Each structure stands twice: as structure tokens, then as C-alpha cells.
Amino acid sequence: MNSFKDYNFNNKINNVLDNINFTKPTMIQKEVIPLLRKNINVVGISQTGSGKTHAFLLPIIENINLNINKPQALILTPTRELAIQIANNLTYFTNEIDDLKVSLLIGGTDLDETQELTSQIIVGSAGRILDAISNRHVLKLDYIKYTILDEADMIFDDNFIKEIDKIMSFIKNSCFGVFSATISKNMQPFFRKYFNGIKVVEIKADLSNIEHDLVFVKEDDRYLTLQLLLSNINPYLCLVFASTKELVNEIYHKLNDEGIKCGLLHGDLDNRERTKMLKRINNLEYNIVICSDIASRGIDIEGVSHVISYDLPYELIYYTHRAGRTGRAKYTGISYVIYDNNDAKKIGYLVKSGINFNYLTFNDNNELVSSKAIVRNKYQFKNDNNDNQALKKITSKKIKKVKPGYKKKRKEQIEKIMKKERQAKIKERIKKQRKQRKNNGNSFN
């Protein structure tokens, strides 16, 4: 199929596709839509931004019986953001198709405990949907035709399998669709248990639109390296990823305290805060957003020109998800990774998996330049004339008594003083660069 017109969808679906400028199906859509139309169970594997959502939405909408006000399609997601995004995509169709109704079941939304849900499509998180079935008794699954697990590997990684198991026990004779950028081995027992025949469709990831750069930690200070990196780029929209919510908050507050306006996106934000934040990000109120890995999965943020990994994720597959936030469709993007010696093993794994990295560092003027791979003993320090100045500072005081280990202690004191002085010089340069950029109308603030 070279055009959506070739699928012979009804006029209302075609009107929506025209309105959202969908003309040609993506590779995953070409493979999946015909299968789901025939009610064939599908596992769809393709990278973020490849069009998986509409690969399952279009056949679902086409096969909904609008004369029956009962849930006929169940779409399960691992995060509230993704559920909201899918529900928003469905809004285009509900605006065009009068009798099509969608219900969003996520934390923070109210349910009428006295009224059974009559929407044909239910979108939500596993916990909230199970609550609607088992505790509130407002969701009946007797008429379910399609059951979709979106970003499925994240559902299994987060140990939602028990909730999914319970939900599945209420579903009979449904067509199943499982979609993700990656499929892990621990999902195989689930497939064997619930799928009577399954078609696997895998579209290989294409990261050719993305430049991958490794930036060595400056002066053993990861945050300082981030500052320098931000001062060297001029992003349209930059997502900065960190591996923990605590680290995300720390970076966010540090940058904002320095007057750098940033957005914030992680799992501890409540539903209203996250919805508001996503809206502000898409409205380009920020050009820097500090994120946990929740933002690397499924959430569609347009116009991301740069991605920075403050550290590498615990699960390295998430690097692909992070990098995939940029370089989408016909656009190019840059993915930076801030690294030190301790990251060597992880970087080696990513290189073996097919990621071609460029190595970068900062010159004496704090400008980003190409370099060879840097490997350095993390306790090594440069022995130059600056040592003598630092040594004078700590030996100017009279040592009353020599204690065991004094040489090591003195060396640590020298390192500490030198590091503080280098950081002061670097921060002064950064301040001058910001002032110059601001005067030129080209600041990243």
C-alpha cells in the first residue's frame, strides 16, 4: 500500500487522515494494518516515532460497531502520558465520527461508581483498568474485539504482569496486538499463555538521522560538563535525560537557580502537572527539558533537535529510546552522552550494537572539539605549576604533628583546591559566554 487511500477506509476515517496530513503509511503500518483487519494476533516491533499508534488505531476504529454502546477495544499503556497521548489522537476521530466514544482511565481521573462505561474504546493504565473491572464494577469486557498492549516491554519491566494477567482473565475471543520498540525474553511465557497463533512484525531501527556524540566529563564534574555542553549548542528543543528522578530534580533546580529556564518531566508529577507540562513543552515555552526515562517511551514531543544523556541508563536499550526522541521523520538530530571511565563497558556494548559514536571534549577555551577516545585513571591529576600554588595554600599553615597517611591527605587537599580554582575559572568563562550570547540574541537561556 503506497497511500492510505488504498486501504478503502470509510469517508470519515479518510477525512481525519486528510486533516492530520497522513498520506502514506509507514513501514510498520503497512505490515500491521492488514493483519489486524483480519483479526490476526500481532507483535509489532519498531522504533519510537515509526507510527505504531495509528497502526492499531485505524483497524480498531474501522471495526467498531457504533450501534453497540459497550467497550469493544482495550488499549493498555505503562504510563499516564502515553494513555493521554493515545486518547488525544483518538479525539480527531471522535470529532468526526459522532457516535464514537472514548474513555480514559488513568490515575487522577474520576469514575462514576454507579454508571457502567459505555465508550467503545477504553484507554488507560493496567492498575486503573483493573480497579474499574474488579472493584468498581463499571467496566465490562464481554464485547472486547481488540486488546492492545502499547510499549509492552515497559509494562513487563515494571512488573505489571500480575495486573495484566487478571485483566486478561476477563477477556474472551479478542484479537491481541502487542507493540514496542523492543521485546524482551521474559515476555515469551505471556505470549504462549494468551496467543493462539501470532504474527511477529519487526521493522529494524533506523537511527541514521541522528549523530551520536560522546562528551568526556570535564574536571571530574558531570554537572559542569552539562553546563559547558549547553553553552556550546543552540538547541531548538533539548531533552536532558538522567537515570533517576532524584538526579532529574537536582539538575532541574540547579539550572533554574542559575537563571536557565527549564521544563521538568518525570513520573512523580501528578496527572494535571504532567499534562500542563507537556502542553507547555509542545508550545515551546522551554528549549531545555530535564527528563527521566519515562519521557523516552511513546510520548510524542515535536521538534527535539538535541538529546543529552547526563548519564547512561541502567537498561541500555533505553539509550535507543532516548536518542529516538530526536531525528524523527525527515529531520536530523544530535544525541550527546556525557561519560567517564566508569562508562567504558556500557559504551562498548552500545558500539557493538551498532551505534557509531564521535568522541568530543572541551579545549582550553571550553569549546567543543573532536578528540580520540579518552581513558584516564579517575584518581590521576595533572602535575603542573598550578600544583605549586595549591601546595602553598595548604603548607602555609604550620603542621604541628605528622600523622600516618599525611601524604595522601595532602595530595587530596591539593586536588580539591586545584579543582575549585579550575571550576571558578570555567564558570567565569561560561558567564562571559552567556553574556556575549545574550548580547548577540543567541543565548540558550
Reported as type and span, the H/E element at residue 338 is strand 333-339
The candidate with the shortest Cα–Cα distance to 208, out of 369, 381, 354, is: 354
Q: Strands, DSSP E only, in 49-173?
A: 73-77, 102-105, 121-125, 146-150
Q: What are the backbone dihedrals phi and psi of residue 338, each rounded to the nearest 5 degrees, phi first?
A: -85, 125
The candidate with the shortest Cα–Cα distance to 241, out of 232, 230, 229, 251, is: 251
Side-chain-side CA neighbours of residue 180 (13 Å) = 20
Supply the DSSP string of 259-276, one letter for each residue: T---EEE-TTS-HHHHHH
| SS3 label, residue 42 | strand
- DSSP-based helix, strand, coil % in the chain, nearest 5: 45, 15, 40
Q: Which residue in the block uniquely carries the three cell numbers 505470549?
A: 191
Reading phi first (left if > 0) and then psi (alpha if -120 to 50, else beta), residue 49 is in: left
Residues 231 and 427 sit within 8 Å (Cβ to Cβ): no
What is the CATH superfamily name and number for domain 4-202? P-loop containing nucleotide triphosphate hydrolases (3.40.50.300)
Length of the chain: 445
The C-alpha atoms of residue 101 and residue 114 are separated, in whole angstroms, by: 19
Beta-ladder partners of 290:
240, 264
> Could you report the per-residue pLDDT of 353-388, keeping only the tens digit for each?
888 999 999 988 999 999 876 654 433 333 333 433
Q: Does domain 210-380 have CATH number 3.40.50.300?
A: yes
Range 246-257 burial, b when 16+ CB lie within 10 A, else e: ebbbebbeebee
CA distances from 143 to 71, 146, 173 (A): 6, 9, 9
Q: Which amino acid would we find at residue 430?
A: I
Packing angle of the helix pair 27-37, 52-63 (nearest 10 deg): 30
Beta-ladder partners of 45:
180, 202
The C-alpha atoms of residue 30 and residue 213 are separated, in whole angstroms, by: 33
The C-alpha atoms of residue 122 and residue 439 are separated, in whole angstroms, by: 52
Cβ contacts of 373 within 8 Å, gap of 6 or more: 214, 359
Neighbouring C-beta atoms of residue 437, cutoff 10 Å: 15
Task: State the pLDDT at residue 393.
Answer: 44
Instruction: Let me know if the fold of 4-202 is the same as that of 210-380.
Output: yes
Q: Which residue in the block uniquely carries the three cell numbers 556550546?
A: 232
Reading phi first (left if > 0) and then psi (alpha if -120 to 50, else beta), residue 361 is in: beta
The C-alpha atoms of residue 140 and residue 124 are separated, in whole angstroms, by: 15
pLDDT tens per residue, the chain (445 residues)?
689 999 999 999 999 999 988 989 999 999 999 999 999 999 998 877 778 999 999 999 999 999 999 999 999 998 888 888 899 999 999 999 999 999 999 876 666 766 889 999 999 988 899 999 998 899 999 999 999 999 887 776 656 778 888 999 999 889 999 998 777 766 777 777 777 778 989 887 666 789 999 999 988 899 999 999 999 998 999 999 998 889 999 999 999 999 999 999 887 777 678 778 888 888 889 999 999 887 666 566 788 999 999 999 887 877 887 888 888 767 789 999 999 989 999 999 899 888 899 999 998 899 999 987 665 443 333 333 343 344 334 333 443 444 455 445 555 666 666 666 666 666 666 666 666 656 655 444 4
Neighbouring C-beta atoms of residue 106, cutoff 10 Å: 20
The C-alpha atoms of residue 57 and residue 78 are separated, in whole angstroms, by: 17
* First-residue to last-residue Cα distance in the chain: 46
Residues 360 and 216 sit within 8 Å (Cβ to Cβ): yes
Task: State the pLDDT at residue 299.
Answer: 65
Domain ranges of the chain: 4-202, 210-380, 388-445
Q: Which residue in the block uniquely carries the three cell numbers 460497531?
A: 65
Reading phi first (left if > 0) and then psi (alpha if -120 to 50, else beta), residue 366 is in: left
Q: Which residue in the block uniquely carries the three cell numbers 527549564?
A: 262
Neighbouring C-beta atoms of residue 405, cutoff 10 Å: 9
Find the largest Cα–Cα distance for the chain.
Answer: 92
Reported as type and span, the H/E element at residue 307 is strand 306-309
The C-alpha atoms of residue 52 and residue 58 are separated, in whole angstroms, by: 11
Using alpha carbons only, give the angle 77, 81, 84 rounded to the nearest 5 degrees.
Answer: 80
